[in-house]
Amino acid sequence: MSEKFDLIVIGGGPGGYVAAIRGAQKGLNVALIEADRVGGTCLNRGCIPTKAMIHASSLYREMQEGDRFGLHAEHVSYDYDKICEYKQETVDTLVGGVEQLLKGNKVTLIEGRGTLIPPQGGINAVAVEEETYLADNIILASGSRPAELPIEGADLPHVLNSDGLFALDHAPDSLVIIGGGVIGVEFATVFANLGSQVTILEALPKILDNFDKEISQNLKMILKKRGVDIHTSALVKKFAETETGMVMAEYEEKGKESAAVGDYILVAAGRRPVIEGLFAEGVQPEMNGRYVKVDENYLTSIPGVYAIGDLIGGIQLAHAASAHGIRAVEAICGDSASQNVDVVPAGVYTDPEIAIVGMTEARAKEQGIDVITGKFIMSANGKSLITKEERGFIKVVAEAGTEKILGAQMVCARATDMIGEFTTAIVNDLTVSDMLRSIMSHPTYSEGIGEALEDVHGMSLHTAPRPSRR
Ligand code: NAD
């Protein structure tokens, strides 16, 4: 007889493993099906290894700039194998931690690929190879994989996706990155820090195209200063090998044909949901294009079957997937929603960091919302001057009249940590004055938040006097 659970989760990434643990915490008998190591793309091939590489490579760059602090370091060098070892150790520690948590919460870990099959005796069913498992509820959390470019030469050995680039045993001397999205600019940061000659080719008019114009422009300037060659409105059409064993990306930039050459090409042109093998014939839920269609509780068109994370499209972020998983489990248990899943902060781990949440001034204008804004330039922030990270700004957007916080955009050190203050403000309907009630400790980067809020009233203490920008 097939084993039966209260909940089966397919996919052990940050969406799936969080749903499994939360389900177990709520008293459900849970199974998690995973073909690879738990942790998914985020822990094994995405967020964690990239951030480790960014950390190591930024330290390397900073060590060479030690003179700014009166520090002399000669013959600064790096050992790429050791950087990769440190990255892998970090990944292994976190994956091991998740494995322990699953075990501690008595989640049954089933190794293999799960396929949703027709219900058996009215109960939802999943096949893993020859075995069948039953569950009242199933959460699909199979995630996404890098998108392939449907162009000539995409299968050349030196044309890699982010997984392939991580597998290299050396930092390339030169790298051409296709796509100036989040993955593109984060990898550009790593390899420019390590001294590689990096070129970014982006089809849209700006890098990080879905971010505020000001953020894209700021980042473009910073990356260019670090030697990154950036081409926007540059649509890549073909890859080819050169006679010297290098690879070439042919692109059209504003009507002109051109080519960029490198030791390797990284394709960072988005991600696609993993649905291959997920549904047996006749049990595919209703789709929304290539994504699984869900309601506000992440329930698909099949009763008792939920889908979360990259599988459903929209915001492809680890913490969004985790929040979906928590919401789905709450719905399964008949509990009300504990989180506001509509307000999702996003961070880009460039140097300085970028973080956003909620609405931009431009988006508010498009939607006919009257807003007031405040902005603080971090070159007047003490902590930023101490650490010589004075580039960047903090901007806050509030509703005119009520002064309710609607959004914030940051380019500065620790932006990805600090954005949480604005997320808390938005989900709790806080106003500019509510936020200003707290004193910021000194000297901190967070003082920039207080100054940006004060600037809404033209009262930023460390900004030269100017008329209120209503
Ligand atoms: P993306 O969609 O952010 O960017 C891909 C870019 O490639 C786009 O700007 C697109 O215009 C460009 N592009 C596509 N085809 C092209 C062509 N032929 N020529 C030139 N340019 C082309 O995707 P991504 O950067 O691959 O990231 C995938 C997902 O992973 C995103 O949703 C991202 O948010 C997420 N992610 C998040 C983080 C983070 O939060 N720090 C880090 C990495 C990835």
**What number of other Cβ atoms are within 10 A of residue 259's Cβ?**
15
Measured by CA distance, the residue closest to atom 2 of ligand 1 is: 270
- The 8-class DSSP code of residue 458 comes to T
Query: How far apart are the CA of 239 and the centre of ligand 1, in A?
Result: 19
Residue 172 token pair: 């390339």
Classify burial at 419, counting beta carbons within 10 Å of its beta carbon; exposed 0-12, middle 13-18, buried 19 or more.
Answer: buried
Q: Which run of H or E residues covers position 146?
A: strand 144-146
- Report how far apart, in Å, the C-alpha atoms of 173 and of each of 19, 78, 228, 255, 459 are: 42, 14, 13, 29, 49
The C-alpha atoms of residue 130 and residue 148 are separated, in whole angstroms, by: 31
Mean per-residue pLDDT for 439-459?
A: 97
Ligand 1 atom closest to 416 (CA): 41
Ligand 1 atom closest to 268 (CA): 26
Residue 286 token pair: 């209703």
Residues 6+ apart with CB under 8 A from 430: 404, 405, 424
Q: Answer whether 3-146+272-332 and 352-455 agree in fold.
A: no
Q: Do the beta carbons of residue 16 and residue 9 sit within 8 Å?
A: yes
Tell me the best of 42, 45, 166, 183 to mutate to test the pocket of ligand 1, counting ligand atoms within 8 Å of each CB and taking the most: 183
Active-site residue 231, yes or no? no
- The 8-class DSSP code of residue 413 comes to T
Residues 6+ apart with CB under 8 A from 23: 6, 7, 9, 30, 107, 329, 332
**pLDDT confidence tier of residue 254, bands split at 50, 70 and 90:** confident
- Estimate to the nearest angstrom the gap between the alpha carbon of 167 and the chain centroid: 20
Query: How far apart are the CA of 442 and the centre of ligand 1, in A?
Result: 37
User: Closest by alpha carbon to 408, among 418, 381, 219?
Assistant: 418
For the stretch 344-401, pLDDT in tens is 999 999 999 999 999 999 999 999 999 999 999 999 999 999 999 988 999 999 999 9
Q: Which run of H or E residues covers position 90?
A: helix 80-104
Does the structure show a pLDDT above 60 at 468? no
Phi, psi of 347 (to 5 degrees): -130, 145
Per the listing, tokens 């420019």 go with: 192
Per the listing, tokens 């480790």 go with: 52
Measured by CA distance, the residue closest to atom 31 of ligand 1 is: 316
Does the structure show a pLDDT above 60 at 147? yes
Mean per-residue pLDDT for 185-191?
A: 97
- Report how far apart, in Å, the C-alpha atoms of 383 and of each of 41, 322, 410, 451 are: 34, 33, 16, 13
> 153 in ligand 1 pocket by Cβ < 6 Å?
no
Q: Do the beta carbons of residue 104 and residue 111 sit within 8 Å?
A: no
Q: Domain coordinates of the chain in residue numbers? A: 3-146+272-332, 159-269, 352-455
According to DSSP, the β-strands at 346-348 and 353-358 are antiparallel
Query: How far apart are the CA of 202 and the centre of ligand 1, in A?
Result: 10
Does the structure show a pLDDT above 90 at 36? yes
Give the pLDDT of residue 1: 76
- Out of 55, 442, 457, 462, which one is annotated catalytic? 442
Does the structure show a pLDDT above 90 at 465? no
> 313 in ligand 1 pocket by Cβ < 6 Å?
no
> 177 in ligand 1 pocket by Cβ < 6 Å?
no
Over the chain, what is the mean pLDDT?
Answer: 96
Predicted TM-score (pTM) of the model is 0.95
**What is the percent of the chain where pLDDT is above 70?**
99
For the stretch 311-335, pLDDT in tens is 999 999 999 999 999 999 999 999 9
Q: Do the beta carbons of residue 283 and residue 118 sit within 8 Å?
A: yes
For the stretch 78-110, pLDDT in tens is 999 999 999 999 999 999 999 999 999 999 999
Query: How far apart are the CA of 384 and the centre of ligand 1, in A?
Result: 30
Ligand 1 atom closest to 234 (CA): 20
The C-alpha atoms of residue 34 and residue 13 are separated, in whole angstroms, by: 9
For the stretch 47-59, pLDDT in tens is 999 999 999 999 9
**What is the percent of the chain where pLDDT is above 90?**
97
> 347 in ligand 1 pocket by Cβ < 6 Å?
yes
DSSP 174-207: EEEEE--SHHHHHHHHHHHHTT-EEEEE-SSSSS
Architecture of domain 159-269 in CATH? 3-Layer(bba) Sandwich (3.50)
The CATH code for residues 3-146+272-332 is 3.50.50.60
> 454 in ligand 1 pocket by Cβ < 6 Å?
no
If you classify domain 352-455 with CATH, what class do you get? alpha beta
Give the pLDDT of residue 469: 52
